[in-house]
């Protein structure tokens, strides 16, 4: 069984059976699986946010190249850029 969708019910069934026999150890294993899932979710969210920032910076650079740098407004310091570039 290499399909994760097919393997999932078998693992869940094994965890239920193991919980009936050895609840304490099974909770430990289930906690490890849950923490791994949370870690995977946070990693994907971090990648998603990073890609959004990269896209925003690329479009800001492209806009600056095509239209020229934006002039600072009356409330802005002339040394300050409207987009912070690394």
- The tens digit of pLDDT for each residue in 26-81 reads 999 999 999 999 999 999 999 999 888 888 888 888 877 777 666 665 555 555 55
The SS3 assignment for 61 reads: helix
Residue 15 has a pLDDT of: 93
Report d(CA 30, CA 15) in Å as an integer.
8
| Global confidence as pTM | 0.54
**Has residue 21 got a pLDDT over 70?**
yes
pLDDT band at 85 (very low <50, low <70, confident <90, very high): low
Torsion of CA 25, 26, 32, 37, to 10 degrees: 180
| 2-11 confidence digits (pLDDT tens) | 777 788 889 8
């Amino acid at each position: 069984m290499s399909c994760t969708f097919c393997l999932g019910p078998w693992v869940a069934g094994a965890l239920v059976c193991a919980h009936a026999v050895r609840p304490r150890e099974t909770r430990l294993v289930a906690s490890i699986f849950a923490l791994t899932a949370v870690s995977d979710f946070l990693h994907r969210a971090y990648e998603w946010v990073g890609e959004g920032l990269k896209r925003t910076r690329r479009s800001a650079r492209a806009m600056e190249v095509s239209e020229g740098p934006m002039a600072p407004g009356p409330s802005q310091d002339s040394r300050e850029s409207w987009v912070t570039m690394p």
